[in-house]
Each structure stands twice: as C-alpha cells, then as structure tokens.
C-alpha cells in the first residue's frame, strides 16, 4: 500500500515540475498577447494550472504524513478519506493538464516548443493511466471512499454521448514499463472510474 | 449565519442553471467543430464546467444539512470545515466560469448569443462578489478555516505580477441591489481573499 502512495508522490512532484515549465511557456504569450482575447485565453489556462499547483502543494504534506503513518490509513479516518478524495480530484487535474498541453501543441508550433510540450504530454498521459490504476486499487482497499464527485472526465462518462468526447482520451493506452491489467480484467475487477472509459472505448473504436 | 448559507444555496442553484445553459451553447460547437483544435477547445471548457456541476451537486446536500442543523456549525466539526473549504473552492469556480463566459463572448458573436452570455456573465460577476463577502464573514466566524488552497485566482494574488493578470478581474465591482462594503472598510475588516484584489486594483488602475 505504501508503495502506491510513494508512486503518487512521484507523480505529483513530476506534474508540479510540468506545471512550472508550462507556466513559463505561457507567461510570454500572456505578456505579449496581440489582443484581449489572446491575453484572456493564455491567462485563463495559466490561472487554472496555478490553482492546480496550489492544490498539490497543500496535498503533498498530508500524503507524506500517511506514507510515514500506516496506522491512520483506514476508511473511518476522515482526514485520510479526504486525502483519498483529493487524490481522486487530482486524477481529473492530470487529465485536464493533458488537454491544456494538447491545446498548446496547436498554438506553439515551433520545433522547440513542440518537442518540449510533446514530452510533457506523454509523461502526463502515462501518469494519468497510472493514477487511475492506483485509485482503483485504493478504492478496493478502502471501501470505495476514494471516489469523489468531479473526478471523472466527460471523456470517460458512460452517460455522455460520444459526440461530446475526444476519441484519444476515451481509449486506455498502456503505460510503458508498467504492468497494466487487460481491459477484460479491468471490467471484472475495477470500479466505475475506468469501466466507463473502457465501455466508451468500445463505442468509439 | 443561516442566511449566508441560504444565500450560498441560491448562488449555487443559479450557477447550476448557468452551467446547463452554457453547456447547451457549447454542445453544437463541439459536434460541428471545423477541426480537431476547435473541437478540443470547446470540449475542454464543456468538460470543466461539467466537472464543476458534479462538484456542486455533491456539495448542495451537505449545505442543506447545515442550513437545517445549526449545532454542527463549528470549526471543530471536520465535515463542516470541509464544506466551508469546498465552498471556498467553488468561489474560484465562479471566477473561472466568469472567464469561460468572457472567452465565449469573443467567439459567439451573433446578437442572440451575445445577449444570453452577457446576462450570464453579469449574474456570475455579481455572485462572485457576493460569495467573496460571504466567505470573509464565514472565515471571521469560524476561525479562518474556510480558507482553502486553490481558492484565490491569479488575478487576486498579491505575489503575482500585474502583467499576468486581467485588469477587469482585479477590480471590485459593487453588486447591484446588494450592499457591498467600501474598499476602505474591506481592507479594515476582511481577510486575504479580497485584500489582495483591492491592493491589485490600486496597482493596475
């Protein structure tokens, strides 16, 4: 169990580095925007990622605490349950970051930015697949309390029409160097978080 | 105190209506997008507002509970503290919605959409000013526990350079038909949540 929390910390530290790098890319676009629309657009994405950074900075000390204190890790400990639910929201945050990076790839078209943004989006895509597997495991070990409202992207909702989704986000891509369950095993063993995405995958593929 | 929670419920029900209306405006743009970039852009904003809707739907029953149960309203009740912190995050959510609507005003330029979006953005701007005043009051009454990481927009942060902010979001606009404290009173009586914005207002004006 502790190993999953250590993996989560590694993911959050990695994405924090990504946020700082991404904010550095956005900043000159905000400051040198050609009009109010462009300025608002880049400011808006910058602000959302800065907010995610604030959330991660608040979450990490609690995560570290429960890495060191196994006794508190149970589904009746309100603070621990809140941590699990906050982690679930940061799962959505990683998906959202992936979309911010993919949007940026359309507007930062010089080779240097393309290379930097592509590396960041691939790392984020891998980390997103990993955090989903970890959350399924945490839900199985802690009575499903990690499920939080607002943790499932539109792309993975079973009750949303495929016409509103983006295909590449509805399909599950195995993380390199990480043992990922096959879809069949997933459907058998996991909770709502990924079953939705797998069903959608069938619909849109 | 109860009246503030009733006002919050009214704000959240109003913004839920706004989310549904906004999603209805975005949906045809997603479905009829001219290319992948446009489709991802509208999908992305749709998904963020749908997530906010999920969060509000989860928050409202707890808010209703504490409207009916005054006894539980204290800064040592973990569930109540979490409610206050979730409300603080929804303050950021309202600011974010305001930016989504202002972005939409640049791209939905026909008179009908302009009229509908302008009405929604003005209601949202008023509700945002109101929720800030309510949160300051809640923080004063409950030992500041309503302060949550990720509740302060870049526009209102004191440690962020004005070159990264949007002027109209850093200034405090009085809410129509609502008695709002003067900036002077605000600086005297309120906590960080709005002091920052007022300081920024001076810097950028």
A135 lies in some domain = yes
Are the CB atoms for A91 and A56 separated by under 8 Å?
A: no
A200 is a domain residue: no
Does residue A117 have a pLDDT over 50? yes
Asked if residue B102 belongs to a domain, the reply is yes
pLDDT over 90 at B84, yes or no? yes
Q: Which of A39, A54, A58 sits opposite B166 (nearest CB)?
A: A39
pLDDT at B172: 59
Segment B140-152 shows an average pLDDT of: 89
Q: What's residue B4's pLDDT? A: 94
Joined tokens for residue B191 = 């906590």
Q: CB distance A41–B103 less than 8 Å? A: yes
Q: For tokens 């539109």, name the residue.
A: A154
Residue B45 has what pLDDT? Answer: 98
Q: Do B47 and A150 touch (CB under 8 A)?
A: no
- Percentage of residues in chain A with pLDDT exceeding 90? 73
Which of B78, B99, B152 is opposite residue A44, by nearest beta carbon? Answer: B99
- CA proximity to A53, closest of A25, A97, A96, A19: A19
Mean of pLDDT values over A129-158 = 92
Average pLDDT value for chain A: 85
Whether residue B96 and residue A48 make contact (CB cut-off 8 A), yes or no, is yes
Q: Which domain holds residue B29?
A: 2-179
Q: Report, as an integer, the average pLDDT of A42-47.
A: 98
Q: DSSP character for A75?
A: T
Distance CA A119, CA A127 (A): 12
Q: Buried b vs exposed e over A2-14: b needs ≥16 C-beta within 10 Å?
A: eebbebbeebbee
- Quote the mean pLDDT of chain B: 85
> Which one is predicted more confidently, B45 or B195?
B45
**B7 belongs to a structural domain:** yes
pLDDT tens, residue by residue, B188-197: 333 333 333 3
Contact list, B44 vs chain A (CB under 8 Å): 96, 99-100, 103
For residue A65, give every residue at least 6 positions away whose Cβ sits within 8 Å of its Cβ, in sequence order, or none. A72
Nearest CA in chain A to B106: A37
B99 within a domain of the structure (yes/no):
yes
Asked if the structure places residue B57 within a domain, the reply is yes
Over residues B143-147, mean pLDDT: 90
For residue B1, the model assigns a pLDDT of: 65
A-chain CB neighbours of B82 within 8 Å are 82
Phi first, then psi: give them for residue A137, nearest 5 degrees.
-65, -45
- Identify the pLDDT of residue A177: 42
pLDDT of residue A172: 59
Binned at pLDDT 50, 70 and 90, residue A158 comes out as confident
Q: How confident is the model at residue A203 (pLDDT cuts 50, 70, 90)?
A: very low
Residues 79 through 138 of chain B touching chain A, CB cutoff 8 Å? 79, 82, 92, 96, 99-100, 102-103, 106
Which of B35, B37, B47 to mutate: most A Cβ within 10 Å? B47
Decide if B32 touches A, using CB distance below 8 A: no
B31 inside domain: yes
Name which residue leads in pLDDT, A127 or B202: A127
Q: pLDDT category, B133, cuts 50, 70, 90?
A: very high
Residue B180 pLDDT > 60, yes or no?
Answer: no
B51-60 tens-digit pLDDT:
999 999 999 9
Mean local confidence (pLDDT), A72-87: 94
pLDDT of residue A190: 35
Residue A150 sits in a domain whose CATH number is 1.20.140
Determine, yes or no, domain membership for B192.
no
Q: What is the pLDDT, as a whole number, of residue A183?
A: 37
Q: Residue B149 — pLDDT band, cuts 50, 70, 90?
A: confident
> Which position has the higher pLDDT, A49 or B151?
A49
Nearest to A166 among B40, B79, B102 (CB): B40
Q: Which among A54, A150, A166 is the nearest to B43, CB-wise?
A: A166
- Report ipTM (2 d.p.): 0.83
In this prediction, residues B84-113 reach a mean pLDDT of 97
Contact at CB, A150 and B30, closer than 8 angstroms? no
Give the whole-angstrom CA distance, residue B201 versus residue B203: 5
Contact at CB, B43 and A154, closer than 8 angstroms? yes
Rounded Cα distance, A136 and A148, in Å: 12
Residue A78 binned pLDDT confidence (cut-offs 50, 70, 90): very high
Which of B116, B121, B117 lies closest to B95 in space, CA to CA?
B121
- Name the domain count of chain A: 1
CA distance readout (Å), A56 to A14, A15, A86, B27: 11, 9, 9, 31
């Amino acid at each position: 169990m502790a190993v999953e929390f250590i993996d989560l910390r590694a993911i959050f530290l990695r994405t924090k580095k990504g946020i700082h790098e991404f904010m550095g890319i956005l900043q000159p676009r905000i400051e040198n925007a050609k009009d109010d629309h462009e300025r608002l657009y880049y400011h808006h994405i910058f602000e959302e990622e800065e907010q995610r950074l604030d959330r991660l900075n608040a979450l990490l000390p609690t995560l570290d605490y429960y890495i060191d204190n196994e006794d508190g890790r149970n589904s009746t400990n309100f603070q621990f349950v809140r941590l699990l639910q906050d982690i679930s929201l940061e799962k959505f945050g990683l998906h959202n970051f992936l979309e911010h990076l993919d949007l940026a790839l359309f507007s930062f078209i010089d080779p240097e930015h393309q290379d930097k943004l592509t590396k960041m989006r691939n790392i984020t895509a891998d980390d997103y697949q990993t955090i989903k597997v970890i959350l399924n495991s945490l839900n199985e070990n802690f009575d499903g309390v990690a499920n939080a409202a607002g943790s499932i992207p539109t792309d993975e909702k079973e009750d949303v029409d495929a016409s509103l989704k983006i295909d590449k986000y509805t399909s599950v891509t195995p993380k390199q160097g990480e043992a990922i369950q096959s879809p069949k095993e997933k459907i058998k063993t996991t909770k709502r978080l990924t079953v939705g995405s797998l069903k959608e995958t069938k619909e849109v593929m």
